[in-house]
Amino acid sequence: MRYISTRGEASPRDFEGVLLAGLAEDGGLFVPETWPVLTTAEWRALRGLPYPALAARVLALFTGGQPDEAALKPLLEKAYAGFGHPAVCPLVQLDTRVFALELFHGPTLAFKDMAMQALGLLFDTTLARRGERVTIVGATSGDTGSAAIEACRDREAVDIVILHPEGRTSAVQRRQMTTVLSPNVANLAISGSFDDCQDLVKAMFADAPFRGEMKLAAVNSINWARVALQIPYYVASALALGAPDREVAFSVPTGNFGNVLAAWAARRMGLPIAQLIVGSNRNDILTRFLAANDMTVRSVEPSLSPSMDIQVSSNFERLLFELLHRDAGATAETMRRFRTEGRMPIPDTAWSEATQIFRGFALDDAGTLQEIGRLWRDCGYLADPHTAVGTAAALAVPPTDPAIPMVVAATAHPAKFPDAVHKATGISPPLPSRLADLYDRPERFTRLPAELDAIEGFVRAHARRNTA
């Protein structure tokens, strides 16, 4: 299995090379050179497997034997051993056709743990065998940072610096990052939006001398391994509902497009997914694109669902590459114009192809609170704001065939957003016992402007062990 860049100028790599590289040197994102496709019999053979075993078999399709399924299975068993539910990602039925796929039973109570806990172990084993170390830099709109820090804290071969937009995460999200005092962990509160943080991370990777000096690596969804580790939970839920002998549909609240891209990848591999709904909040660039081919950047507005407060969805480039029939030159030019002009000129034929499988739905804060309240009243289900966007989208954009079940990605524990949940339901969801003292823990972070020189200087000082 080899990987190529969406912009065509970076050398192909194997899985381990992509794992450690993150972003391609040409600014593009790595994608499989060819997609693995499973037969109906092969999908059926995955039924009934414990989640770690299923995940190992699916991930092995992308690793080219390094590591192989036999090596991945104990690693993934270890990754998911500390999750708070024996099923790892259970399905909860909300009504006759809508199910919540709970992805928040990991250590930081968000779906990012599903990939990040395994990613940390993959980094460990790969770096140990190669005798190398890396500096991980990442941007977060709320959940990626805490999941990455939890996965990488205290690891000998890894230093990690996470950038978050100051004042634009929930208090729980912030504290899950800033109360980790491990010496290899640093948090930066950036004056600006998530898009500013994401641009700074990409700029560090584009700075070739700095990238080489610091041995930069990525754990957010620009890293293909992150996306690959999210595919198994879509497979598991679809199989539980009758696939491959029955179609399913998914509603995914998303900002950076990585989570819903993993569902698209499962479909590309042959899983019978009839429809993918992209749920957005007031930052609705993806909804506007799917409704009217309008991919125009607007200002990022804070919302009750901060993990979706994004206007530039990095992972959309991977889908764009496929919509343009893997024309790397056209992809690179389209992305260049997007960055310089603030809008993405996508041919109508490519847009039409996207709308055959993707539908968009946007929900403002008032609607989000109404949906949280409705779920509690009608279903006895306590949902966080992101999940509420997903359930509202599932009801607003149902499959054309009512027999097709709709699975909503429940991406965060309601206790991560207690103020919104209390406002909608009158209930203040408690944190699990392992996080009960979160508000009493001391915080450590550094405030910096959204300026590349300042960020690089901080990273260089924090990761000085890498240059020793």
User: CA 160 to CA 204: how far, in whole Å?
Assistant: 14
User: CA 425 to CA 158: how far, in whole Å?
Assistant: 42
The letter for the amino acid at 88 is V
Provide CB contacts within 8 A for 461, sequence distance 6+. Answer: none
> The sheet that has 98-102: what strands, in order across it?
91-93, 98-102, 406-410, 248-253, 273-280, 358-362
For residue 2, the number of C-alpha atoms closer than 13 Å in the C-beta half-sphere is 7
Distances 408 to 56, 213, 450 between C-alpha atoms, Å:
23, 42, 35
User: CA 346 to CA 296: how far, in whole Å?
Assistant: 11
User: CA 36 to CA 413: how far, in whole Å?
Assistant: 33
Of the candidates 73, 78, 112, 423, the residue annotated as catalytic is 112
Query: Which DSSP string corresponds to 325-385?
Result: TT-HHHHHHHHHHHHHHSB----HHHHHHHHTTEEEEE--HHHHHHHHHHIIIII-----H
Whether 112 is catalytic is yes
User: CA 2 to CA 32: how far, in whole Å?
Assistant: 6
Provide CB contacts within 8 A for 274, sequence distance 6+. Answer: 247, 248, 249, 399, 401, 404
CA-nearest of 8, 1, 3, 4 to 332 is: 8
User: CA 284 to CA 309: how far, in whole Å?
Assistant: 9
Give me the count of residues in the chain: 468
> The sheet that has 158-165: what strands, in order across it?
216-217, 134-139, 158-165, 185-191, 446-449
Strands (E) across 33-171 are located at 91-93, 98-102, 134-139, 158-165
User: CA 47 to CA 198: how far, in whole Å?
Assistant: 38
| Neighbouring-strand partners of residue 164 | 189
Name the DSSP letter for residue 244: T
- Residue 4 backbone dihedrals phi, psi, to 5 degrees: -120, 160
Strands (E) across 121-218 are located at 134-139, 158-165, 185-191, 216-217
Task: Output b/e per residue, 216-227; b: 16+ Cβ within 10 A.
Answer: bbbbbbbbbbbb
Cis before 107 (ω within 30): no
Would you please indicate which residues are annotated as catalytic (active-site) residues?
Answer: 112
